[in-house]
Structure 1
Amino acid sequence: MLAVMYGGDLLRTPGPPPAGDGADAASGTPAPSRPSASAPPSPRPKADDDVRTGSPGHGSTGATYLEHGPGTFTWAAPASGRAGRGGKLVRYGVKLEDGTGLDAAAVAAEIDRILRDDRGWTRQGVASFQHVSGPPYDMVVQIVSPGTADELCGAWGLDTGGELNCANAPDLIVNVRRWVELSDQYKGRPHDYHALIINHEAGHVLGYGHRGCPGPGKPAPAMMQQIKGLDGCVANPWVYDEAGRFIDGPRVP
């Protein structure tokens, strides 16, 4: 099935599937290889770990949002230069549906900080990121109302039930309910939960697939579907640890 993304000023179809996953280490946890430009990320629709429901009361903001937004969007203007100098250049945009109760500039600034963090994908020259104000782009983060998330994700055959995010490269649909209320694994940790959403999807854009827990008590890879269960791992939103080691795990089919 060819998934089609629609909404606001976008009408896009994803590219062809990748030749392989860019981080398939047979053993150990080496730094990831740089994905080939000829191997774009898979267009297979997915409802990711950074998408499950969280209980009200441990949210990150006091934002009040519409359950069913108008379907109009505000693009966040770039406020910083390119992050990183090596690897694949990922052009990304940030747009918020009107009625989310969030400030577009503040949300974009947080996403910029996440992508520029030394524990993220810029480490070891894997990728660099450039915030853009509109097409063309390699990834666009859209924060939308629960109703709009259901509509957009439903176009890909996904049932998000007013609670989930979804993604189909280059589009990342973030349900504002999740952005505000977080998830049970990240109670009281809004920045970490937001970092998980962004780092996880950026990994897909770079060609990386899902990973499992590498062992009890170890940090969960950013590419792990953490909301589906940590399997003994510790919740972690980052690609690298503080010492610069790539946080990997067994490949999930």
Structure 2
Amino acid sequence: MRPPTPQPPRRPSRPGRGRGRASSSASERRKTPTAPRRSPAGQHSTHQRSSEEPDPASRRALVVARRERQRRRSRSRILYGATFVVAIALIVVGLRFWGFHPGFALPLTGDTTATPSPAAAEAAAESHAASPTAAPSSTSSASPTPSASTLPAPRLDAEGFAHSDAVGDGTWTIAPAVPVSRPAAGIVYRYILQVEGGTHVDATAAASIVESTLNDERGWPTAQNTSFEPVADPAAADFTFNIATPPTSDALCSPLDTGGMWSCRNANNVVINSDRWNWGAVPYPDVDSYRTYVTNHEVGHFLGHEHEFCAGAGLKAPLMAQQSHDIAGGCVYNAWPTQDNQPG
């Protein structure tokens, strides 16, 4: 009998791998990602901040920047508004100072009645300044208006200026075209003369005074080689010479402030206040010489001359100086452009 063959010893058995049991081997352990912890409400824990959520400091900086932009915009609006208001105020004051305003101009019509109508106007008005004294000088070639003796007694103000308180009756009388007293010189300007009802001014008498003044050799014919021809047809006239009551003079000169006392040139209208035509002005010794002055002065504005100033005490004032209220600089009165700044 063969002896039994010895069997190799068996290896010890390994722990069984039963189903549902995890391997204890370190090499076979699987690492599983750790889920973020959640709060009891199922949200991410607040100690884990999202990278997309802005920092509170940045949020505050944005709010501050937004408020600063709003303040800048508010300041800019206030600054622009104030600048605009100041600019408008300066423009208005400047226009009023220099006398460039739109105003009323009398239309050149053939009717004997007329009312002021709005029109753009660049006017040169008589304004007034300085000492009320004046020494006598030359006399006018004009003669008194025949109706002067029928004038009502005027009301005198504290400075000695006469006022009638007359109000126009709405009618206008166009004066006849009187013959020209001198041969025409250089450029000839044609004009009509019309007088408002209620002024106590005779249109025919005034026409002779104005024509002889404008064509006098001491006046614009010599100073500017210009002469003037009165006409009766408004369509043929270059300008209108108006003698009007104080309220109508103010309306025709508006927006220049003539204060019920003064005369002006407004566009193609020379406007003479009837109180000044009838009673003159304090700086002048008589009515006739003042009529010469105011006629030449306002027509001088029509010719394009601006205001001038006294060249020295004792000299005759330039015709284009303002002489109706007083005469500045110590000059004496002067009604003729050829005698400007001559010894008084």
Q: Report the TM-score when normalising by structure 1.
A: 0.72
CA displacement, residues 10-43 of structure 1 (integer Å, 9 cap, x when unaligned): 75846xxxxxxxxxxxxxxxxxxxxxxxxxxxx5
Distance 1:134-1:12 versus aligned 2 partners, 3 A rule = farther
Q: What SS does the aligned partner of 1:133 have?
A: coil
The structure with the largest alpha-carbon Rg is 2
- Counterparts of 1:86-235 in structure 2 under 5 Å? 86-123=185-222, 126-135=225-234, 136-153=236-253, 156-187=254-285, 189-226=286-323, 227-235=325-333
Deviation of 1:83 (Å): 4.0
Please list every run of 5 or more consecutive structure 2 residues that lacks an aligned counterpart in the other structure. 1-100, 108-113, 133-143, 153-163
Deviation of 1:151 (Å): 2.7
Does 2:100 correspond to 1:3? no
On the 8 A contact 2:247/2:260 being kept in 1, the answer is: yes
On the 8 A contact 1:84/1:125 being kept in 2, the answer is: no
* Whole-angstrom CA distance in 2 between matches of 1:103 and 1:173: 16
CA displacement, residues 65-106 of structure 1 (integer Å, 9 cap, x when unaligned): 671111210000011137443332211211101121121110
Deviation of 1:215 (Å): 1.4
Please list every run of 5 or more consecutive structure 1 residues that lacks an aligned counterpart in the other structure. 15-42, 242-246
Q: What SS does the aligned partner of 2:329 have?
A: coil
Partner of 2:123: 45
One-letter amino acid matched to 1:69: G
Q: Report the TM-score when normalising by structure 2.
A: 0.54
Q: What SS does the aligned partner of 2:176 have?
A: coil
CA displacement, residues 107-165 of structure 1 (integer Å, 9 cap, x when unaligned): 11011110121100111662011111132322211111122223323xx3133332222
On the 8 A contact 1:216/1:231 being kept in 2, the answer is: yes
Partner of 2:177: 78
One-letter amino acid matched to 1:46: A
On the 8 A contact 2:281/2:287 being kept in 1, the answer is: no
